[in-house]
Amino acid sequence: MAKLLAGLLLALILCAPAAGHGAIAWTALEDGLEMAELSSQAGTGMPSYATIRILRIDPHHFTFRLFSARWEGGAPRTLREWAQSKGLAAAINACMFQKDGLTATGYMREGGQVNNGRIAARYGAFFAANPRTEGLPPAAVLNRSHDDWQALLPQYGTVVQNFRLTDRAGDPLWPQDGPAHAVSAVAQAMDGHIFFMHCAEPVTIHAFASLLKLHPELRIKDALYAEGGKEAALLVRNREGQTRVWGGMSPLRYLFTAGGQEVILPNILGIVRRQDRP
């Protein structure tokens, strides 16, 4: 019966209506994990067929971890393979990566394991989790323009650097006429929840951010851009191991395919249920 209910829940995720310009309908997947969909709205630049999927994560129920083929050994894996091997409840791109197919384009470390120890001058945000100091939030998006990031980074065990998605007012920081592609992003809400956000359909990053601003009830404090194009991906996996992956589609592939194909990713950000930690 439990497996049947879990399967029905994943089916509801696929069939749930996307929210328009109004209240967001959250579907509870399990304690501390909810999902919603935002449909395109006029004036954002989003095409009518595009949808942003958002996972709302309570950091008190889940631990955030970075995984990289650099320190895990072996070849990079698909998001599904990462989730299965690490027991993840959800996962998203950690960051963009360099031409070697392994190295993050910005700073990235998990504990004492470092993928890239260089701070990228152009990247204005960090995702940080697993504080080493009492009193800090369990997970946060740090803004280089507003937060004392140089003092805060050493106080977190998990850190990855990316471009900022919006300013503090929620306005897009990306050009309106930028290229269209799938988008993965991560955000922190005012109440401390963390959002994994994904649009499989090709959109500009400006349009993606503009749709988020039409939903002030999200109460986004800061947001960062994680990845774009066919590599952009989001995964959710229930306790029984049933998994749903949303992959990225290029404009050309959107014309001929119903969904993005799963691609190999060297670096991912995942969540583990706190009671499942070793």
Give me the pLDDT at residue 219, please: 96
Q: What is the pLDDT of residues 233-265, one digit of tens each?
A: 999 999 999 999 999 976 554 444 444 468 999
Q: What is the pLDDT of residues 138-148, one digit of tens each?
A: 999 999 999 99
Task: For residue 57, give the nearest of 180, 148, 189 by alpha carbon.
Answer: 189
How is residue 5 written in tokens? 């209910």
CA–chain centroid gap for 83, Å, is: 14
Give me the pLDDT at residue 199, please: 97
Mean pLDDT by 10 residues, the chain (278 residues): 47 49 86 96 85 98 98 91 97 97 97 98 98 97 96 98 94 93 98 98 96 95 97 96 89 46 92 80
Instruction: Measure the CA–CA gap between 211 and 41, rounded to whole angstroms.
Output: 7
Instruction: Measure the CA–CA gap between 231 and 247, rounded to whole angstroms.
Output: 7
Q: What is the DSSP string of 66-89?
A: EEEHHHH-S--EEHHHHHHHHT-S
Instruction: Measure the CA–CA gap between 13 and 16, rounded to whole angstroms.
Output: 5
Contact 128, 158 (CB under 8 A): yes
